[in-house]
A = this chain, B = another copy of it.
């Protein structure tokens, strides 16, 4: 049987059908779509920027190093993300009151507005993307994802 001529639709079961492969592919699909949806916003082209903005919005006074931990990026990288958010006028950077070397990040008015838009888009995407999954399965899917994340994160040490 010579089924190799066109591209393999039947990737499943062969070997790429591993959890890690699907996770990777799904991430790619989700990220591209999100980029497209965010195109008009001043946080476009930013995997890190989006998360950082939302984190600052949710945790006023958060420090860059904390963001770095969540993003799993090093400090220089995170610092540059913060830098761009400040330049874009979305967040404010002040010296932390209790620690002169640290910074306290807060959203600006515009930042709050954009954050709200970002959230809306994310929820919209979530609705569109996973509409095909029944509610109860989606809940379980979410639960397993969350749990895996925490278990694996913890395992890093």
Contacts and interface: CB of A to CB of B under 8 A. Distances in A.
Interface of A: 2, 4-8, 11-12, 14-31, 33-34, 47, 51, 54-55, 57-63, 65-67, 69-70, 72, 119, 122-123, 125-126, 129-130, 132-133, 137-138, 140-142, 144-149, 151-153, 156
Given A141-B144, A145-B23, A29 B130 contact: no
Integer count of this chain's copies in the complex: 2
Given A8-B58, A11-B70, A21 B51 contact: yes
A18 B146 contact: no
A59 B58 CA distance: 48
Contact of A26 (B57, B65, B132, B148): B148
A60 B4 contact: yes
